[in-house]
Each structure stands twice: as C-alpha cells, then as structure tokens.
Amino acid sequence: MPPEEAVEIVAQVAEALDHAHRQGIIHRDIKPNNILLTRDGRPLLADFGLVKSIQDDRRLTANGVLLGTPDYVAPEQAQGAKVDGRADIYALGVVLFEVLTGQHPYANETPISVIIKHISEPMPRPSEVNSAISPTLDKIVAKATAKDPAERYQRAGDMARDLRAVLASGATARPSVPTSVTAELPSVEFPPFIAGPPIIHPRQFFGRERELKRLFNLWKRIPLQNAAIIGPRRSGKTSLLLYLKSITTTPPSHLRVGQRTDWLPEPERYRWVLVDFQDARMSNREELLGYLLGNLNLSPAGPGPAPCDLDHFMDVVSRGLHTPTIILLDEIGVALERCPELDTAFWESLRSLATNYVGGNLGFVLAAHESPGLLAHHSNVGSPFFNIFGYTATLGPLTEREARELIASSPIPFPPADVDWILSHSGRWPMLLQILCRERLIALEEGETDDVWREDGLRQMAPFRDLLA
C-alpha cells in the first residue's frame, strides 16, 4: 500500500474516532484488526458494540482480568488508569507507525516487555526504520504517541487535520519512497474467537454446511418453503439466522477463502427480515407489524416502523410483496409464552398470507429450543401456523472438519496435541470450541508455556456443559 493511501486511511479512522469521542464513546481497542476496509477502500472501525461486548465477555470470563494484545495499549491504559479518547489516539499513532514502516515500534518483544516499553521507552521515529518517511509524519506519530496524554493530540480530529495537510502538500515521504516497505492493513480481519454474542459477521461463522444446503434449497424456487431451526441454548441458532440473512450478498473479499456464497439464483432479489422476540417492542402486535412493513419497504413512509393493524398489514403485503422474502423469527418461544397480543388470529393471518396471497414469495424461518409441533402444543396458540414448517434443522456439534477449520482460524497456529484436546473437550460445539480456542490463543499470546489454559478453558466452559450432556 502506498504511504499516501495508508495516511488517508488513518486520517479517515481519526475522523471516525473524533466523531465517536464527541458522542462520549471510546473504542479502547484500536488496532489494525479492528480497521476493516470496504471494497472501495474506505475504512470501517469494527463495530464499537461488538468490541465492547467482546470485552465484556472477556471480563466476565477471564478471571476478572481483561486480556488482549498489548501492542497498541496507551501507557495510562496499561497502568490501569482511567482512559479517555486520548488512549484511542495513542493506539492510532502506533497503527500509523506500523503502516508507514511495516513493523511494530516494539517488534520482537514479549507482551510484558511491550507493555513496559509503552509505559517508559520513547517511541522510535518511523524514519529510523524507513528513511523515506518524511519528518512531518515523524512528528505526527510522536505527537499521537506522547506518553503523557496531555502532550498528545487532544482530539482525533486534530490528528486527522494534520494528516490531511501532509497529504495535501504531498509530504508523506522524502523523494523516491520504496513503497514496498509499507505495511498492508489487513483487508478484512476480525478479532478471533467470539464466545458469547451471536456471530454477526459471516467471516466468523463456521460449519453448518449440511443445514445451509438444505435450507437454501427450500428457497431456490417459488413457492418458498418454511423452516425451523431447533437447538439447545447456545447451540448457534441466532448466528445461523444472521448468516442466512447476509451470506448470499456478502462480497467474497469480506469472507474466508472457500466460503460459499452462491446459494441462490439472483440473491439480490431476496429480502430478509429478522425479528428477535427478545426485543420487547416485538411483543406489541402493531409495532411488530409496522416493523415488518418498514423492513419490507412497504410502509408508505418508507423504511422505519409505523404501527399498523393486522388488516392493514395483510392488505399492504398481499398487494405489494412481489419478490422473494424470508422472515426470520428468532426466539419464537418467547413470543408464544410472553406476548399475549400475538394470538391465534395473528399467527393464522401470517399463515394465510404466506400460503394464499403473495404468490409463494413469502417464507418463514423460526428458531426455538423445541420443535414447531411441541411449541404449538405447549402454548395453545397458532397451531395452524406451526404446521407449515415442513423442514426442521436440528443444531448439534460441528463436524470434525468444520471444527478443525474453526480452530485453524487462529492467528497463531495451535500445536496438534492441543487441537485434539480442544476437539475432544468441546464435543465440537461451536460455543465451546470458541471458548477453548480463545483460552489457548491468549496463553500463546502471553507466552505461557504451561497447560494452565486448559483448566481455565474448562472452567469457562462449565456454565455451558449441558451442551455436552
């Protein structure tokens, strides 16, 4: 990547940070892996919400200690002091150093010594590593990475402004830069091993190939058919719904090599709407129907919920829905148990809409802990609706090949004996694989040579052991 491009990307990230800081949001985990590039080269900061939830999860699970890479940690953050947006500016300064020189300022050090250096050793100048880097860029890195937050850029916007000035004046480099030494920002990389929240990005989703084949087969042709996804707590139901919704239209550059996207003919014609019944608003019938209309682009006011009643909903959808549409209903058990407004009349209307009025263009997928038949039986509502689910995918462990692929996604490869240990102790359940892999990876990153990570992993797994029963 030419230095201009690298500087441009860092400037855009600085602008995004400035915006977030003004909203009172601190990222706390700026690093190249959290900077995603869109196909047209725009950087996206990996979802703040995601980052936070990963940290929360780690905080919950890692003996009260927040572990992660220390490579970009600001001195005050490393010392456990209260941090503000200036810690993000520091981290971005380190990223800038790295994209300019192709190496980390404190390369080849153990994690502990990297932390000590962040706290006490002066940041080298990028031009010491790559003599082609201009003094102006040296200064920007120095200012962003000052040890004392008071000496840093106080606002990410100021850093962005200086970077833009460099770009405008063409002063990224002394004459004749050997551009090959500049580091590539990873085009799309994600934090490895997510245990807890559903998998949001398709790139982080593994396995379920058999289920995917069967599910997409229901939707290749009109009439679309209905499917149920059944599995125990934490088996990956929500992750699968999210994957179904996005995989066919995700550009291959955002995916792992070999991840299949060609499941449907003309995937861009399909519309997908996800309803999560754990969202309390969905228990209100009019709000739910308004939400559906908005997401189907059928509400007169355009996308966005406007409450609507059942008659109106039926009317608008049966007249307006002409392209294949799949409504994904997550946590349907909650809807049946806790949402009295979603009564038999409601479910019957949905059924009649799908079967009689929209030319086969509407399909439903539901996710639940028990089968549609049992759901209807236990709840005494909507049994005709639940009769239309002709295919049920029951989520179990991943196959061995899929589980190995998940394990092999580690940025640091695991020794074969550890891979086998993880395979057998996780029972190949994705959640348990993620937990054990995360513990293994942290131990490797921290340079631990013992097997304590195994005990840690088993302890973290304990609350979810019923998966193994």
* Interatomic CA distance for residues 372 and 385, integer angstroms: 9
379 binds, among ligand ATP, Mg ion, none (CB under 5 to 8 A by kind): none
Q: How many residues form the binding site for Mg ion (CB under 5 A)?
A: 1
Peptide bond into 223 cis (omega under 30): yes
Q: CB of residue 195 vs ligand ATP: minimum separation in angstroms?
A: 4
Q: CB of residue 177 vs ligand ATP: minimum separation in angstroms?
A: 41
| Alpha-carbon torsion (74, 76, 82, 83), positive or negative | negative
For ligand ATP, the binding residue among 61, 235, 325, 361 (CB under 6 A) is 235
234 binds, among ligand ATP, Mg ion, none (CB under 5 to 8 A by kind): ligand ATP
Query: Is residue 122 within 8 Å of residue 193, measured between CB atoms?
Result: no
Query: Is residue 434 within 8 Å of residue 195, measured between CB atoms?
Result: yes
* Interatomic CA distance for residues 446 and 110, integer angstroms: 8
**Cβ-based neighbours of 293, under 8 Å, separated by 6 or more:** 299, 305, 306, 308, 313, 316, 317
Compose the 204-243 pattern: x for residues touching Mg ion by CB under 5 A, - for all others. Answer: ----------------------------------x-----
For ligand ATP, the binding residue among 97, 106, 153, 206 (CB under 6 A) is 206
Query: Is residue 192 within 8 Å of residue 69, measured between CB atoms?
Result: no
Q: CB of residue 296 vs ligand ATP: minimum separation in angstroms?
A: 24
Tell me if residue 441 falls in helix, strand or coil: helix
Query: Is residue 59 within 8 Å of residue 67, measured between CB atoms?
Result: no
**Cβ-based neighbours of 96, under 8 Å, separated by 6 or more:** 6, 7, 10, 126, 137, 140, 141, 144
Compose the 182-201 pattern: x for residues touching ligand ATP by CB under 6 A, - for all others. Answer: ------------xxxxxx--
Q: CB of residue 397 vs ligand ATP: minimum separation in angstroms?
A: 11
Binding flag, residue 428, ligand ATP (CB under 6 A) = no
Q: Which C-beta is closer to ligand ATP: that of 32 or that of 207?
A: 207
**Cβ-based neighbours of 63, under 8 Å, separated by 6 or more:** 456
Query: Is residue 1 within 8 Å of residue 185, measured between CB atoms?
Result: yes
For ligand ATP, the binding residue among 3, 32, 68, 207 (CB under 6 A) is 207
Q: How many residues form the binding site for ligand ATP (CB under 6 A)?
A: 22
- Beta strand pairing status for 35-37 and 43-45? antiparallel
- For residue 146, what are its two tokens? 């000052």
Binding flag, residue 68, ligand ATP (CB under 6 A) = no
Binding flag, residue 430, ligand ATP (CB under 6 A) = yes
- Centre a 10 Å sphere on the Cβ of residue 412 and count the other Cβ atoms it contains: 10
Span from 28-36, 210-218, 230-238, 260-268 in contact with ligand ATP (CB under 6 A): 230-238
Q: C-alpha distances in angstroms, 370 versus 209, 240, 276, 366, 468? A: 21, 16, 17, 11, 18
Compose the 387-426 pattern: x for residues touching ligand ATP by CB under 6 A, - for all others. Answer: -------------------x--------------------
Query: Is residue 305 within 8 Å of residue 279, measured between CB atoms?
Result: no
Q: Which C-beta is closer to ligand ATP: that of 118 or that of 438?
A: 438
Q: CB of residue 423 vs ligand ATP: minimum separation in angstroms?
A: 15
Q: Which C-beta is closer to ligand ATP: that of 196 or that of 307?
A: 196
90 binds, among Mg ion, ligand ATP, none (CB under 5 to 8 A by kind): none
Q: Which C-beta is closer to ligand ATP: that of 29 or that of 88?
A: 29
Host H or E run for residue 293: helix 285-295
239 binds, among ligand ATP, Mg ion, none (CB under 5 to 8 A by kind): ligand ATP
Q: Which C-beta is closer to ligand ATP: that of 163 or that of 199?
A: 199
Binding flag, residue 237, ligand ATP (CB under 6 A) = yes
Positions in the binding site for ligand ATP (CB under 6 A): 194-199, 205-208, 231, 233-239, 406, 430-431, 434
Positions in the binding site for Mg ion (CB under 5 A): 238
